[in-house]
Structure 1
Amino acid sequence: MDKRKNKHRYLLSIRNRIFVFAILVTAIPSLSMGLLLQNMLQTTLEEKVKQKFVDSAQIMEREISLWLKKRVYDLTVFSNASIVSEAVTAYLKMPEEKANGDENQHPNITILETYLSTLQHQFKGYVRILVLSRTGAVIAASESGGRDRPFTFPDDYIQQISDQQWFKSNAYIDARDKSPLILIGVPLFLDQLYEYETLLAIEVRLTGLLTLLDPVKFGDSGDWTYQSLVNMKTGQQFLYGRGAKKVLNQIDPSPSSDRQTLREYVNGKGERLMGLVVPFRELEWGLFIVENYEKAFSGVIHARHRNILIICCFSVLMGLVAYLLTRQIMVPLSALTRGAERVAEGDLNVLLPVRRNDEIGFATTVFNEMVAKLKLSQAELEQLATTDPLTGLNNRKRVMSILRDHYEYYRRYKTAFSVLMLDVDHFKDVNDTYGHQAGDTVLKQVAEIFNENLRNVDSAGRYGGEEFLVILAESGVEESIQAAERIRKAVASHTVIHEEQEIQVHISIGIGRIHKQDGDEQNIVARADMALYRAKDEGRNRVVYHAADDL
């Protein structure tokens, strides 16, 4: 008590009052600057954590999309099997009253169920393989799954098929082992008018996605980061990552308004968490990802303690130090923030200069590496989006985009071009005789022949199945016919070798040339397609030119 009184008297002296005043004049701005820096660092780290969460969600969505496409590809392969088409065709031809009876009494359905059971044994991740009617009724099912166990059939499956040629259901729980399931299906016998009567579907366990929810997969140690998949319509978490269920199962991830806001949560154990719900762009799911608050903002906490200590120890010099630190810190942080804003807007051509060998320099280096990886991932995604995975040619979407560019160029500069529609003759016989893998080999080698016989200015793409579309830039009628004959002869003289089997194939080619009366690029495709049909009707293995006057 006496010491406190003596201290109070010492502070009453004029000299000390001036000294205290000088300290306060210096310390208050310093403290204000420290608080400002603290707030800016907090904001920057929040944006960094949020960006990391968003990046993880984008990677997760890409991986899940690839996982779904693999299942859809399997279904497409299954649906092309002759045993499926024959059994379903026979079922559809049965009288209605007989078809509504016990399908197991019909030999075709029995054979189909045996085939589905065989497929299921080969693909361990599939719970059931089903053939369904348009209403979702079970026509045939693999034996281990049975017919009676319920499943979720999406109400909007027709719209999904119209948009993407396949459908999937919301996640639902298997009553036997409480694991999450999903139903994925494709239409059978889908024609050009999108008409179909039956569906082929698989019931898959979502536990196959658990490895994607491991934070280690995305470069995190995984000790303090937790992830789960969320149904964005219901806000229900249906699949948890490693160690996440105990932490997240008592948290409602449904945000009140903006789903892109980094929020603070407290779970049932009283742990303080920072998390974000990131909806996927092409799925009705989202990724709920949280991180321990102390880990996510450990830099902010340590910086706060350090600033208080510095202000207390060096209050007289804090004004000058704060000014110098502000200039040293704010310039690179502002550049980093502007770079982050450009990346958020989609501009990946960002490279920030690294002029410091400290935390900010390290953060700038990490930022540059992150942008470089994002740019590489974007390039890979663009490659996947425009290239046919089997032949390496342009896919249909890409080649049609190139055709539209040629059409617009023709309208502006009147530079004529031609379109070849090519089809492998009797390709179904190749698949039936040698197998689908042999058919894939045929398509790959035919595509290589296109690349060898086309100019750099020409473009080739897989139009669908065994059909290809070639765009001959700046070509006349005779040049187009000569190019088509060159390709046809090259294919005819080429022997496809598959597993020591020699396969000889031929192609039919229809030629259409741009005409001034064409209203869009579809007219020239229609003429080339009509010419292709004429080539087929006239005996195949030939080239047919279709002039605009022949329409």
Structure 2
Amino acid sequence: MLRWEQALARLLHLLRLDEIKRKILVFALTATLIPSLTMGWLSYGQNSRVTSEKVSEELRVASSQASRELDIWIKQRIYELRVFSSSYEVSENLQKSRGGRVNPDAMRRLNTYLKSVSEKFRDYEELLVINPDGQVVSSSGGHASAINLPGNWLLLARAGDAIVGSAYWDETSAQTVVRIAVPIKSADDQLLGLLATTLNFVAVEEIMGKLTPRETVQMYLIDIDGRVITSSNGALPDQKQARLPETVIQRLVGESTAEPALPAIEYTNLAQQEVLGNIALSSQQEWAILAEITEADAYEQIIRIRNLTLLITVAVLLVIGTSAYLLGVTIVRPLHRLTRGASEVANGNLGVEVPLIGGGEIGYLTEVFNYMVGKLRDDQQELAAVNDTLTKTNRELQEISITDGLTGLYNRRYMMETLSNEVSRASRLKHNFAVLMIDIDHFKRYNDTYGHLAGDDLLVKIASLFRQSIRDMDLAARYGGEEFLIILPEHGAEAAMGVAERIRTGVGTATSDLNNSQEAVSVSIGVATFPENGTTPVTLIESADAALYQGKESGRNRVVLSDAKPGARAGSGEPSRTKRTRKS
């Protein structure tokens, strides 16, 4: 044997390619893989460069257009303020209260004017008048607030310039706002004060949203320090702390001022995503528009083409590899079947069954394998049956834990959880709902007269009537003893009173012939609504309970709407029982 042949044989032995089947397979795969990967890599590089240039241009155009629109928006707001500040209502009424004098009529007219103007412009959160001493003398909101203007505002005002403060987070409206102001001057050009407004950025958010070239592009309004003011979708990572690193801002600003324009830069954004970004500075303020897109979205098409190329390459490799593999697979095919079967069992598929072909050792091994899988399958079915039983039992226990054992209504604990959730939902959606507190009149006397079993039957009958009188979305619960509580989502006072009256009359009709009594059983009902009578579970229940007590005091068998106001009571957790002796 020649030396090169010996060296090649040793190499193939080290690579475990002694078998002909493996040699054919490796050769076929190598001959396919090398040219496919080479062409794919060259194509991917060229497409990446083209896509990067396209995305950079989209971001540059979008940020520039948004920056121009931002400048126009600021100029329009300043122009509006100048128009309002020149109004007779502002200058004349303010002049009447100069020199420490306060003219109540003038201030009232000025407040009315500011409020009417503020209500007509959605960009205005508040309009206020500030005197030259920096004091707020009139506000559309009816209360004084911090002026939030630059330290040199008085010099700017005397020079007749518009004043723009820094954007800040407003806790009251839960959004980022900015305060701008213009001077108010008398006919003799004397400075009377400032007309200032607190602007929200809703219009700016809409502008950025409309100018995004694609859904995956996100635009931010930032200040020169990198603090995020707002975004095209109105969401901020952290309203008070969102700030881009200084190095990123420097790179973005340098890119935006370069001639010719440079491609979008890569950086890590506030959401810790790798993005491409472009910035455009505003000519009016120390603000800028930042447009960015994640690299995954920017190169989505390229990635898709790359993946398709890889998929085709893999498919070709599979076809060629399978053809090469079939040349030597017939000898070890039964063992391969067992190997695949064992792999499927390891992955949890116990439905596998290896076909028995031939006899000998392989045939016996196949029989043992199929028997083992069958035993595992039977054990799995038994375990599944046990799990089904446990699930059903747990469901029954859950139902028992939230219902009253006598009436079948929900119990007090579950009612409090539901009421708390309903308060949160109604607060978030600005909806209303109602709470009915129901007490059976003279229930103690009924128990004493007819016995406790009859009293239990009465509770069950009335609970059944409640279920028939309310909707599926409503909730009826036994609050304690002969007291019940019903939650009516999406009900105002009038609708709730109607439901309560229907329940009251229904109880009288349903119990008219109970125990051959001379008179029907009656109930008294107290009605409270959210948010008119309370904004927490505690205050709502206490309001309904107070209305119920009023009904008891007024003769029972009636429905009374609470007149309590939110904040009239304070409390937390479970509502405390009113410190009084309620008539039964």
Q: Structure 2 length as normaliser, TM-score?
A: 0.41
Rg comparison, structure with higher value: 2
